[in-house]
């Protein structure tokens, strides 16, 4: 036994191209709790490094360089680090575990399972930053996707491969609406990213909204608000990488990310830490420029036949529809659903404000009677809202304007069409038939 080991060991040393590889390491020169600076370390941006020893240290990601020093962002929590602590590369930049092995699992921003079901085995690999596609590799949105919500199916029909945003202030019902969509959506795979939300909300979302059959075909990436901003951004990249891998297999994927605004907040923290000047509402340019890179990764692939239908929640700070993140997302997305706090206060759920909401692909994926009935409902609702104050004050006299009279008469039917219980599911054919039956004759 000893002779065999000695012979093989000596043979390996005799290989002509053998060259010892030195271990790369640097030293910690500065640390303020989030941003670190290391000297003597030359590694690519995106590399994960171990700072300190494995027991009392933390992981950090290289995010840039300044004056000969390597800048890193803390990926973990507080650590008892000392000056000149060793900084060693721990992983190559930019790959995510993907594939069927992740179905039914919950992972964090680093791809580690947090559901207590053991390690993930047999997963494939996919670049975190995705694979750049030509615009001509993207197919058109031509087929509708049933999401089980009457108002969306009927008035804001979503297509397979569409990117749409749910925009609202805090506490208006974004998560409840997402839960309704998750339970009813006709998709092969559901990839959910809970980025920057409350830890309590993660457990609640899993137990109440991703339960039963939906859980078996879902992959959840959860990175709560108390995690590092770099980890939150890595979580958003991981969500899209997982969805892209399934799309490459020809699957119909529903990607849900809650929320796009928290990702922009993480980008703002990193940009300001790097000394980037703040512009609109405190957001540095890099934080807003990051959003198109994420959103453009969804869509239809003409080669595999797969699609990623992406639904992003966008938090409107202070219910401001002109918030930089809201405005930027609205310009990139293929449609947006606006939730109204006024409707929620009146007890209308889901509180979808039909007027400012739009699906830019609806005209390509529904038939003409359906489209005509949807426009009729919108016209009646807009007429009623324009004259609502006059009607409530009693200043309007019936018969003065036939359009207003019709809008007032149809308003109860409009509100009943928009309302829906969270546990109720209304299929796309049923929503279209009801819409045409009530408003198709006008």
pLDDT attached to residue 25: 85
Q: Which 8-state DSSP code applies to residue 344?
A: H
pLDDT attached to residue 5: 56
Q: What is the mean pLDDT of residues 96-109?
A: 93
Q: How confident is the model at residue 147 (pLDDT cuts 50, 70, 90)?
A: very high
Cross-strand partners of 223 = 195
pLDDT, tens digit, 9 for 90 and up, residues 348-393: 989 999 999 999 999 999 999 999 999 999 999 999 999 988 888 8
CA dihedral of 100, 93, 52, 28, whole degrees rounded to 10: -160
pLDDT attached to residue 16: 53
Reduce the DSSP state of residue 134 to 3 states and report it: coil
Please measure the distance between the N-terminal and C-terminal CA atoms of the chain and give it in whole angstroms. Answer: 91
- pLDDT score of 9 more than 60: no
Provide the token pair at 320: 């401001």
Provide the token pair at 187: 């998709």
Q: Which of the given ranges, 73-82, 205-214, 345-354, has the highest pLDDT on average?
A: 345-354
Closest C-alpha to 427, from 101, 102, 180? 180
β-pairing verdict for 48-51 and 58-66: antiparallel
Task: For the chain, give the number of residues.
Answer: 442
pLDDT attached to residue 188: 94
Measured between alpha carbons, how far is 153 from 147 in angstroms, rounded to an integer?
Answer: 7
pLDDT, tens digit, 9 for 90 and up, residues 15-30: 555 555 567 789 999 9
pLDDT attached to residue 2: 54
Q: What is the mean pLDDT of residues 225-244?
A: 92
pLDDT attached to residue 246: 96
β-pairing verdict for 26-31 and 86-91: antiparallel
pLDDT, tens digit, 9 for 90 and up, residues 112-142: 999 989 999 988 999 988 888 888 888 899 9
What's the pTM value of the predicted model, to 2 decimals? 0.88
Nearest-10 crossing angle of helices 229-248, 260-273 = 130
Measured between alpha carbons, how far is 62 from 100 in angstroms, rounded to an integer?
Answer: 30
**Alpha-carbon radius of gyration of the chain:** 26
Residue pair 381/401 in contact (Cβ under 8 Å)? The answer is no
- pLDDT score of 154 more than 70: yes
Q: What is the mean pLDDT of residues 198-214?
A: 83
Measured between alpha carbons, how far is 313 from 310 in angstroms, rounded to an integer?
Answer: 10
Cross-strand partners of 338 = 167
């Amino acid at each position: 036994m000893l002779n065999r080991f000695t012979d093989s060991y000596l043979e390996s040393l005799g290989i002509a191209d053998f060259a010892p590889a030195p271990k790369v390491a640097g030293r910690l020169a500065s640390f303020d709790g989030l941003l670190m600076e290391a000297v003597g370390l030359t590694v690519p941006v995106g590399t994960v490094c171990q700072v300190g020893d494995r027991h009392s240290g933390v992981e950090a990601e290289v995010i840039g360089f300044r004056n000969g020093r390597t800048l890193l962002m803390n990926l973990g929590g507080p650590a008892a680090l000392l000056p000149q602590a060793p900084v060693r590369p721990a992983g190559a930049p930019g790959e995510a575990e993907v594939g069927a092995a992740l179905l039914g699992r919950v992972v964090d921003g680093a791809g580690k399972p947090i559901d207590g079901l053991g390690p993930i085995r047999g997963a494939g690999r996919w670049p975190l930053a995705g694979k750049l596609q030509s615009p001509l590799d993207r197919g058109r949105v031509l087929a509708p996707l049933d999401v089980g919500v009457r108002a969306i199916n009927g008035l804001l029909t979503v297509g397979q491969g569409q990117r749409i945003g749910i925009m609202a202030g805090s506490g208006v019902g974004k998560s409840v609406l997402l839960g309704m969509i998750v339970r009813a959506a006709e998709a092969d795979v559901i990839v959910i990213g809970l980025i920057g939300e409350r830890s309590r909300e993660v457990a609640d979302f899993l137990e109440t909204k991703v339960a039963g059959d939906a859980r078996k075909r879902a992959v959840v990436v959860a990175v709560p608000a108390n995690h590092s901003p770099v980890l939150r951004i890595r979580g958003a990249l991981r969500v899209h990488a997982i969805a892209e891998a399934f799309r490459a297999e020809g699957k119909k994927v529903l990607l849900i990310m809650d929320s796009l605004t928290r990702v922009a907040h993480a980008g703002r923290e990193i940009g300001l830490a790097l000394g980037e000047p703040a512009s609109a509402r405190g957001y540095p340019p890099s934080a807003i420029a990051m959003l198109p890179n994420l959103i453009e990764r969804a869509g239809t692939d003409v080669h595999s036949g797969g699609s990623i239908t992406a639904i992003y929640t966008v938090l409107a700070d202070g219910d401001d529809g002109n918030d930089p993140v809201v405005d930027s997302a609205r310009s990139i997305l293929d449609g947006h659903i606006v939730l109204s706090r006024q409707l929620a206060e009146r007890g209308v759920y889901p509180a979808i404000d039909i007027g400012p909401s739009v699906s830019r692909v609806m005209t390509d994926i529904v038939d003409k009677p359906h489209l005509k009935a949807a426009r009729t409902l919108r016209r009646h609702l807009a007429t009623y809202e324009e004259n609502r104050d006059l009607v409530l004050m009693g200043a309007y006299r019936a018969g003065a304007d036939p359009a207003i009279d019709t809008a007032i008469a149809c308003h109860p039917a409009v509100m009943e069409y928009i309302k829906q219980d969270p546990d109720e599911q209304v299929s796309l054919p049923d929503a279209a038939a009801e819409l045409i039956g009530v408003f198709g004759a006008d």
